[in-house]
Amino acid sequence: MLTLQISQADLAQVKYERFHYPCPKIQKRFEVLWLKALGLPHKLIATIADVSLNSVTRYIRLYNAEGLDGIKRRNYRKPESALGPHRESLETMLRQSPPLSAAQAKARIFALTGTLGRSLSQVRAFMHRIGMKPRKLAQVPGKACPQAQQAFLDGQLDPLIEQARAGQCHLFFVDAAHFVLGFFLCTVWCFARCWIKAPAGRNRFNVLGALHAITLEVEVVTNESYVNAQTVGQLLWQLRAKYTDAPLFLVMDNARYQRCKYVQELAEHLGIGLVFLPCYSPNLNLIERLWKFVKKKVLYGQYYERAALFREAIEECLSKVNHDLQYKQELKSLLTLQFQTFPNSPNLPV
């Protein structure tokens, strides 16, 4: 007859762990030992613990041979994916050229491994295991030069930011946004596809803005015609009149109306330093994030019947940027002085 050779110390631990051990399956093993220690027959133990008769015998023999360490050991078999041995090469391939769909990934995995034909669900599971998930593409200018961007960050922008943080200068990021009255597509959580009115016409509202790098206050010049050199000049006069206690620097792109002779001579006359971004570098202009914020707040999924309402919504949003505490809190995390460059853009398969 099979007997249980258990010490009093182990029995006390068995009594506790049959209710408190974190794994329910191991709890059943402790329950079997406890019931066996009470002298119950194996068939009754199997019924109470809800295990097979063979399991009762196996658990008792396991304890007699290895003690509580054997009872606690998990011997569950975990199937290994057939793609496991190829993980490194597959991950390298998928990083260099992300697939557009699971079906495309399946075909390329088959082409690389030669014999491994996986189902679409298995391919998706494998891609999730290595850290992949569907992500929306974002665009970056094709002619951008990562080396020029990094040199600009290290040599010009970062030193100016440090001076601005120390209060030695005022640093602004300048850019124009051309808002056109129309429907701005967005994504919403809904039970069925939603439809929204779209206004007619091509009414334009131009905003030339200057965003302070430290205080995150914005100064704007607006019109409904065009942004030109005179518009930039108006912004320069506006900034110079307000910020007189320290040197003033403006970071701007290479738009012709900003880099023209008139603007550069006026800036020199007003004592304003102009810092021009490398070509095709919107990712280095902090105010680009502000324009995205404005669109999200008042334009995405909104219908404005008249151009005047469209303009009022944008102006009110820009006003709140300077005064609304909720807006300031949201912008604090969005307008950080951290800039992303794109040294290695993967190629999508054709």
End-to-end CA distance of the chain: 71
Residue (of 217, 109, 203, 230) closest to 172 by Cα position: 217
Radius of gyration over alpha carbons of the chain, in Å?
Answer: 33
% of the chain at pLDDT higher than 90: 58
pLDDT tens-digit series, residues 143-195: 888 899 999 999 999 999 999 999 999 999 999 999 999 888 788 888 888 88
Does the pLDDT value for residue 349 go beyond 60? Answer: no
Q: C-alpha 276: how far from its chain's center?
A: 29
* pLDDT score of 187: 80
pLDDT tens-digit series, residues 43-98: 999 999 999 999 999 999 999 998 998 898 887 666 667 777 888 888 888 888 88
If residue 4 lies in a helix (H) or strand (E), which one and from where to where?
none
Residue type, 337: L
**DSSP β-ladder status, 170-180 and 248-252:** parallel
Contacts of 113 (CB under 8 A, 6+ apart): 83, 86, 90
* pLDDT score of 108: 87
- Rounded mean pLDDT, 247-252: 96
Cα–Cα distance for residue pair 165/176, rounded to 1 Å: 25
pLDDT tens-digit series, residues 97-134: 889 888 998 888 888 887 667 788 888 888 888 888 88
- Copy the structure tokens of residue 192: 């069925």
Q: C-alpha 47: how far from its chain's center?
A: 52
pLDDT tens-digit series, residues 267-323: 999 999 999 999 999 999 999 999 999 999 999 988 998 899 999 999 999 999 999
* pLDDT score of 78: 62
Cα–Cα distance for residue pair 279/157, rounded to 1 Å: 15
* pLDDT score of 344: 60
251 - beta bridge partners? 173, 275
Cα–Cα distance for residue pair 262/232, rounded to 1 Å: 10
Please count the other Cβ atoms lying within 10 Å of the Cβ belonging to residue 291.
Answer: 19
pTM of the model as a whole: 0.68
- Rounded mean pLDDT, 21-40: 91
How does residue 231 score in pLDDT terms, banded at 50, 70 and 90? very high
Q: Average model confidence (pLDDT) for the chain?
A: 89
Kindly compute the dihedral angle of the four CA atoms of residues 311, 317, 320, 325, in this order, to the nearest 10 degrees: 160
Residue (of 86, 77, 331, 308) closest to 211 by Cα position: 331
CB contact at 8 A, 301 and 196? yes
Instruction: Name the DSSP letter for residue 284.
Output: G
Secondary structure (3-state) at 175: strand
Does the pLDDT value for residue 222 go beyond 70? Answer: yes
% of the chain at pLDDT higher than 70: 95
264 — phi, psi (to 5°)?
A: -70, -40
Does the pLDDT value for residue 341 go beyond 90? Answer: no
- Rounded mean pLDDT, 254-271: 95
* pLDDT score of 221: 96
Cα–Cα distance for residue pair 337/309, rounded to 1 Å: 33
Residue type, 136: K
